[in-house]
Amino acid sequence: MELSEDELVAALRKLLSGKHPGVVVGVGDDAAVLERGSVSVVLSTDMLVEDVHFQSAWTSARDLGAKAIVVNVSDLAAMAASPRAAVVSLALPSDVTSGWVMELYGGMREACDEYALSLVGGDLSRSDRVIVSVAALGEVAPGRAVLRSGARPGDRVAVTGALGAASAGLRIARSGKVRGDRDRALLAALLRPAARVGEAQVLAAEGATAMIDVSDGLARDLHRLCVESRVGARLDLAGVPVAEGATREDALSGGDDYELLATLPSEAFEAAAAALHERLGVTLSGVGDIIEGTGVVAVDPDGGERPLEPTGWDHFAQT
């Protein structure tokens, strides 16, 4: 199949392009937003497939359960929504033990407790690989969801934390050699990622105009944000925060980081960075600017400029 995930999403959107009453944001954002009077309901879904999103060789059932929840919570966070509830569809091979399933549930519960959401139901079936599909429901005040489409020329582009750790962690997992605390931390970034729920609330309060979680790499997700906002961006490579032990390539094209990529009016950036640092001890790095036009221009540390392709993690291109 020759189409990418983004191309299929574009096709889906075209096919579904009718207006839906009460739907504020549909296909193409981190999650859908439905206005429901005094509250907006935000709905997201994400599926983890064995051998595509995770390898059983180095992924415990407990970590898998937690991650299945966290990746959905991250989608809600990227809309500045508060997570409330989740349902899970599970497909399992016949050689899975009941102990394994209890561990999976245990990991889900840990993540649900951590992010204060309720796991309220599910569905179970057979498959020849493990598939964990979660749908998560969140809430946000009407009109307060931060979409991918709100970036404006002149806005600063910013990311929380540091990027590339999960990608470096994947390299360590594949090598089978874990040496020291730094390797363990990188591996944990891959296996037990965190969703930036509190960070998103701070950024929204400080005036973020657009937001997306960096699940498929900075290059790809910045492109997505630009496409939705009908703008371009200049990405200052020297400003991209690279996690310790990761490479700049990991930070640009690695997946699974779940940091937030946000745009803010340039005058709001400093206050947002200060608020994030003060309240949550998290660094906000300015990594570029939104410009008129389309596409992303990468500015090298020596000042050279080149177009940045939307390379990165395409779960659909993996086999």
Q: 65 to 84, contacts with a second copy by CB under 8 A? A: 84
Instruction: Match 């390539």 to its residue by tokens.
Output: 249
Q: Nearest approach, Cβ of 9 to a second copy (angstroms)?
A: 7
* Spatial distance between the Cα atoms of 247 and 207, rounded to a whole number of angstroms: 31
CB of 130 to a second copy, least distance (A): 11
Which CB, 117 or 226, lies closer to a second copy?
117
At 75, which amino acid appears? D
**Nearer Cβ to a second copy, position 1 or 57?**
1
Cα–Cα separations (whole angstroms), residue 191 to 40, 136, 243? 31, 20, 16
Could you say which residues in the range 81-120 bind a second copy, by CB under 8 A?
A: 84-85, 87-89, 91-92, 94-98, 101-102, 105-106, 109, 118-120
Select 25 or 77, whichever has its Cβ closest to a second copy.
25
Nearest to a second copy of 40, 209 (CB atom): 40
d(C-alpha 272, C-alpha 120), whole Å: 35
Give the shortest CB-60-to-a second copy separation in angstroms: 17
Diameter of the chain by CA atoms? 57
What is the chain's Cα-based Rg? 19
Distance CA(247)–CA(310), nearest Å, equals 18
Between 120 and 141, CB nearer to a second copy? 120
**Binding of a second copy at residue 41 (CB under 8 A)?**
yes
CB of 308 to a second copy, least distance (A): 23
Q: Which of residues 228-287 bind a second copy (CB under 8 A)?
A: none
Shortest Å distance, C-beta 205 to a second copy? 23
Q: Which is nearer to a second copy, 92 or 276 (CB)?
A: 92
d(CA 73, CA 154): 30
Residue from 10, 45, 154, 249 binding a second copy (CB under 8 A): 45
- The amino acid that residue 179 corresponds to is R
Judged on CB neighbours under 10 Å (0-12, 13-18, 19+), 260 is buried
Residue 211, class by beta-carbon neighbours within 10 Å (0-12 exposed, 13-18 middle, 19+ buried)? buried
- 8 interacts with a second copy by CB under 8 A: yes
The three-class DSSP label of residue 135 is strand
Q: What single DSSP character describes residue 115?
A: T
Question: Interaction with a second copy in 11-40: which residues (CB under 8 A)?
Answer: 11-12, 15-16, 20, 22-23, 25-29, 31-32, 34, 36-39
Q: Which is nearer to a second copy, 87 or 188 (CB)?
A: 87
Give which of 217, 199, 297 is closest to 256, Cα–Cα: 217
Site for a second copy in 117-156 (CB under 8 A): 118-129, 131, 133, 135, 137, 139
Q: How many CA atoms lie within 13 A of 52 on its CB side?
A: 14
Site residues for a second copy, window 202-221 (CB under 8 A)? none
Collapsing DSSP states into helix, strand and coil, what is residue 6?
A: helix
Question: What whole-number distance in Å separates Cα of residue 27 and Cα of residue 220?
Answer: 17
What is the nearest approach in angstroms of a second copy to the Cβ of residue 150?
A: 18
Question: How far apart, in Å, are the Cα atoms of 259 and each of 24, 67, 138?
Answer: 25, 14, 19
**Complex with a second copy: residue 43 or 280, whichever CB lies closer:** 43
- Please, which of residues 297-316 interact with a second copy by CB under 8 A? 315-316
For residue 129, the minimal CB distance to a second copy (Å) is 7
DSSP three-state, residue 269 = helix
Site size for a second copy, by CB under 8 A?
Answer: 73
**Residue among 60 and 89 whose Cβ is closer to a second copy:** 89
